[in-house]
Structure 1
Amino acid sequence: MKKFCILFLIGVMISSIANSQDADTVAYEANKINDFSILPLPAIAYNPANGWMFGVAAASSWFMGDPVSTHQSNLVFNFLYTTKKQWIISSKSNVFLADDQWNLIGDWRYFITSQPTYGLGSSTPNDLEFIQIGQENVLNGKQQMDFSLIRFYETILRRIGTSKFYLGLGYHLDIHQKIESFIDEPIDFDADFSHDFYNQTLGFPIDRYTLSGISINGIMENRDVAASPYERNYAMISYKINPEFLGSNKSSSTLLLDYRHYFNLSKTRKRHLIATWAYANFLVSGDLPYMNLPSLGWDMFGRSGRGYSQGRFRGENMVYTEMEYRFPLQKNKDLFGGTVFLNAASFNSKTTGEKLMNKINPGYGLGLRVLINKEKRTTITADYGFGQKGNSGFYLNINESF
């Protein structure tokens, strides 16, 4: 069945390219400075957390200034329904104003969704069991959760002189509501769900909570094209403060670190490269609600942790790294490409006493790339990843993973 799905998707992608590549080239020639246009199209995607996703997607790339001195801006919008009866509505943008003087980063979402959780830390099992914490029995392993999410993140950064560095402020709002934990089969002992036990222990509600805060951000933007880079590097540091007076249930602060480097292996074939990614998210002070804790696959574009489903690992602190070898599959053309990747993640848990780096969960896999617009580097990506303990997953997306 998996082989059939991959072959079917390759056929769909090739057919789409044959029908749309000329139109993409014409659209690019017409897409000059400040000429923003967006065309909604039927969409299909897949990942382990959501299953098959069908609906409407719209993407646009354009320049807000002279392309020589201004990075390409990008916007991706999705309105999707999944085979797991979820609604996924999102808008993600990375906009550079003329001469890169300002950078605006947006992440807006409305989800009516479900997702399994497995408890906290890197040692949680796939199958359901329980652990004793103090006088309580707490479920560990796969537990289902239904919830809705309202997210509004917007960051505004100002370029420092003529450098590659930006400084700015952001506002971040997450509202999780209509949360319900359950398991598919009854158990013959009393135990609390991981989510409920954690929240009740720290004084958070179990059915609805809010995290609202402001961030101080520094970014180095040195990639040639932000959506699908071929060379150079990118770095971000973000310190976020979530005070109660802005609506958070409890005050807290977090630190996010993100670094990416692209090593080009050929002067004539820029698509031949090694990409590296280091990502860390730390709880600095206070406490976070369960679903706001650092988690695998909950980065902005949901690309971390191929080989595992979104939310498979979660904890107060996380570190993550990935390396990917990207290469063209044709001698003189760039239509088809391939990739092999390796990643690793570690999480801690104050609840169980597990420390960061006590256990590392690796993932690995390979993928196909189809470059449907060479000028904009719009790329369809199809990956299959493998994790530990039988975890695996197929991922179909647009543009590179990082």
Structure 2
Amino acid sequence: MNKISIYTILLLLCSFSVNAFDHQEEKEEIEAHTSGPKVGKLYLSPIPVIASNPAFGFVYGVAASGGMFMGDPNSTRISSALLTVTNTTNNQLMFTFKPIVYTANDTWNLMGDYRLLFSSQNTYGLGSDKVVTPTGNLLGEQPMEFDMIRLYQTALRKVKTNLYVGVGYHLDILSNINDELLDLDNEIYTDHYRYSIDKGFDPEEYNLSGFSTNIIYDSRDNVANPYHGRYAYASFKYNPTWLGSTKNSSSLWLEYRDYFSVSKNRERDLIAIWSYANFVTSGDVPYMLLPALGWDQMGRSGRAFPQGRFRGENIFYFEGEYRFGLPLLNSKPDLFGGVLFANATTVSSEMDQVKLFDAIQVAAGAGLRIMLNKKTRTNISLDYGMSLNGESAFYIGLTEYF
């Protein structure tokens, strides 16, 4: 995307956001003199999606972030959901719906991840030792087409303040997989094909179906844009063939987020950290469903890198971000904000004998925030990231990244 189109998009978004912010302030002034946030009221923030992403090319479509209190706001966290419908210049049609729901008094926490993708994506082999050349050309870039259905639903019940335990079901179906570089007649093999044949998977389709046991500690004050609190999540997933998986396997997900205030006067000024690890603990997982960068629930990890840039049996990811307000307008001091971020990724590969922490890939960047809805703290996020190896990307989204 060239500079002119980026600036045009920024101007349009800023104009849209100022108008939305004005309207929202009027609504909040009225509600402040009545009953405050209303139970069951949907706070909706729709925007057009116009972005450039290294995995998808030029992206266009619509997105909507919704927030709602399912119970008394004094004892119930706000529920949030993100819905997107997008198409790309790479002929990728994608539908996603990702809700996080808290029922009255936070009794239940319901998390979903629903995706329907008619997509394509470059893969880069396994492990985090694959880098770029000095000219910026990716080594081992292997284009692939595929269709994907993802249906994830987890239900957790509160057992103590901020502590939840529960179970979930997870289904991934990949079909119509086309390795574009694969040429068996001339003995040209892709990493996806080599791995699939070695592990006994059909290179053109496979499933992963399983149930999970989960535990969450969540003291964040807002799911979409926390100012304080912490989040810890552990999930063990078992994927048996009798439930529909192509092969038996199990995996472990560990995640931690925390938020540290750096200003006594503005709670928006803070340092946020996010870390997760995902391990294949037994059996064999299909290539495209191995732990991979950018394939977390919200698809937020690895700014600067294409989705799936690093993939393998085990992954460890860490990100830190400094968030701060930008009082550019005296009449609307909360409208703008900024972020500075850095992330690090390491991935193992049994096939290529790459161990976790053998190679660490690092990226950093900066971003602008435009407040769409003060009550739900919904932001438009505009970010640019660059890796130490020269890979870069520009992102437009809704809500904070973590």
TM-score normalised to structure 2 length:
0.92
| 1:45-84 Cα shifts (integer Å, max 9, x gaps) | 3322122222232321010000011000011111111121
State the Cα distance separating 1:257 from its structure 2 match: 0.5
Does the C-alpha gap of structure 1 residues 26 and 111 become closer, same or farther in structure 2, counting only changes over 3 Å? farther
Match of 2:377? 377
Give the conservation status (yes or no) of the 8 Å contact 2:46–2:62.
yes
Are residue 20 (structure 1) and residue 17 (structure 2) matched? Answer: no
State the Cα distance separating 1:39 from its structure 2 match: 7.4
Give the conservation status (yes or no) of the 8 Å contact 2:49–2:396.
no
Query: Of 202, 206, 227, which aligns to 1:205?
Result: 202
State the Cα distance separating 1:6 from its structure 2 match: 3.3
Structure 1 Cα separation of the partners of residues 221 and 118 of structure 2: 36
State the Cα distance separating 1:24 from its structure 2 match: 3.4
Match of 2:340? 340
Match of 1:391? 391
Matches within 5 A, 1:297-312: 297-312=294-309
Match of 1:56? 62
Match of 1:357? 357
Structure 2 unmatched ranges of 5 or more: 134-138
Does the C-alpha gap of structure 1 residues 38 and 339 become closer, same or farther in structure 2, counting only changes over 3 Å? closer
Are residue 271 (structure 1) and residue 268 (structure 2) matched? Answer: yes
What secondary structure does 2:16 align onto?
Answer: helix
Match of 1:141? 140
Does the C-alpha gap of structure 1 residues 329 and 188 become closer, same or farther in structure 2, counting only changes over 3 Å? farther
Are residue 11 (structure 1) and residue 11 (structure 2) matched? Answer: yes
State the Cα distance separating 1:293 from its structure 2 match: 0.4
Give the conservation status (yes or no) of the 8 Å contact 1:147–1:179.
yes
Q: Report sequence identity in percent.
A: 46
State the Cα distance separating 1:270 from its structure 2 match: 0.9
Matches within 5 A, 1:58-207: 58-126=64-132, 141-161=140-160, 163-183=161-181, 190-207=187-204
State the Cα distance separating 1:387 from its structure 2 match: 1.1
| 1:301-360 Cα shifts (integer Å, max 9, x gaps) | 111111111011100000000101111121761211111111100001000111110010
Structure 1 Cα separation of the partners of residues 49 and 166 of structure 2: 34
Structure 1 Cα separation of the partners of residues 64 and 153 of structure 2: 20
Structure 2 Cα separation of the partners of residues 372 and 246 of structure 1: 43
Structure 1 unmatched ranges of 5 or more: 128-139
Structure 2 Cα separation of the partners of residues 26 and 246 of structure 1: 52
**What number of residue pairs does the alignment pair up?**
389
What secondary structure does 1:6 align onto?
Answer: helix
State the Cα distance separating 1:126 from its structure 2 match: 4.2
Match of 1:134? none
State the Cα distance separating 1:31 from its structure 2 match: 6.1
> What is the letter of the counterpart of residue 63 of structure 2?
A
Match of 2:136? none
Query: Of 34, 39, 42, which aligns to 2:40?
Result: 34
> What is the letter of the counterpart of residue 107 of structure 1?
D
Matches within 5 A, 1:227-246: 227-246=224-243
| 1:244-282 Cα shifts (integer Å, max 9, x gaps) | 000000000000011000001112211100000111000
| 1:191-221 Cα shifts (integer Å, max 9, x gaps) | 3111011011000010110000000000011
Structure 1 Cα separation of the partners of residues 171 and 25 of structure 2: 38
Query: Of 313, 325, 330, which aligns to 2:327?
Result: 330
State the Cα distance separating 1:123 from its structure 2 match: 1.1
Structure 2 Cα separation of the partners of residues 26 and 317 of structure 1: 49
What secondary structure does 1:160 align onto?
Answer: strand
TM-score normalised to structure 1 length:
0.92
Give the conservation status (yes or no) of the 8 Å contact 1:257–1:281.
yes
What secondary structure does 2:242 align onto?
Answer: helix
C-alpha root-mean-square deviation of aligned residues, in Å?
Answer: 2.2
Give the conservation status (yes or no) of the 8 Å contact 2:181–2:189.
no
The higher-RCO structure (CA 8 Å, 6+ apart) is 2
State the Cα distance separating 1:27 from its structure 2 match: 6.0
